[in-house]
Amino acid sequence: MAEKVKRGWLLPTGLFIRDYLLRHRSAYPQEIWRALKKERAKANIYCGSYQSFRVNYIYVLKKLGLIRPVRKEKAGNPKWFDRIYYEITPGKEMDPRWAHPQTAFNPIRGGPPYRRGYARAAKKRRVAVELAPITREELNRIWAAAEAFLREKGYRITREVMDSVVPEWTSEVALYSTFKERVGYTIRKAAETEYVSRIARRRIRLEEAPEPIRDEAIRVGRTLEREWLRTSS
């Protein structure tokens, strides 16, 4: 038998848990772990222990507020712990943290790009209160400028796709103080989204892509953002 390899990015645990709960509405941790183990065995992918799954995912997802307990059942064996069933917290079905819950819970567990990203986001949240909200007209102007630049570079992402895949862009763009920076941010996020979606052949968020593709999308997006900031008047 071929040795199982660690290719968890092919079947991300967080997204598997979400999809399993969407299909079954509620489930207990060991049930989900057994299903994950079975699916990974089919692809000859290594699956960690139940203890690791419970600590690194169930506990973390609870702390992030993505799942919540709904009922308890007595186990068949009196020596076993009771079964606690969980469901997805209403409204959290499309939360981007499902893709990388451990990094979302503790950025130190992610690579340098994650740590830098969370540090920048934290800094922006601190100054967000000082920035005025963006009007619909301003958002339209920002997108028009970003779209024109992206078209010159061969990108075809539309506003409709951007709004459906990265809906938070309309609020996060307000964290930048100038029109030029806001357009640069929009260019970066749009380019990242088109890059990973083109590879996946479907609309996906940056966080859902495998790490090598995600890293390249980030590089492409930042390159275009820097070019815009350097060349725009």
Domain that holds residue 83: 8-105
Q: What integer pLDDT is reported at residue 65 of this predicted model?
A: 93
SS3 62: helix
Query: pLDDT tens digits, the chain, 233 residues: what are they?
Result: 334 434 444 578 999 999 999 999 999 999 999 999 999 888 788 888 888 898 889 989 999 999 999 988 876 776 666 788 999 999 999 998 998 898 888 776 555 555 555 555 555 544 444 445 689 999 999 999 999 999 999 999 999 999 998 888 988 888 788 999 999 999 999 999 999 999 989 988 887 888 788 888 989 999 999 999 998 86
CA angle 69, 49, 10 (to 5 degrees): 90
User: Distances from the Cα of 213 to the Cαs of 60, 167, 219, in angstroms?
Assistant: 25, 21, 10
**At how many degrees (to 10) do helices 136-152 and 179-200 cross?**
60
Tell me how many domains the chain contains. 2
Whether residue 227 is found in the same domain as residue 123: yes
pLDDT for residue 127? 45
Q: Does residue 146 sit within a domain?
A: yes
Q: Are residues 98 and 125 in the same domain?
A: no
Question: What CATH code is carried by the domain that includes residue 69?
Answer: 1.10.10.10
The C-alpha atoms of residue 59 and residue 17 are separated, in whole angstroms, by 13
Residue 141 host element (H or E): helix 136-152
The answer to whether residues 98 and 191 belong to one domain is no
Q: Is the pTM of this model over 0.95?
A: no
Instruction: Choose one of 43, 74, 105: the last residue of a domain.
Output: 105
| Phi, psi for 85 (deg, rounded to 5) | -90, 140
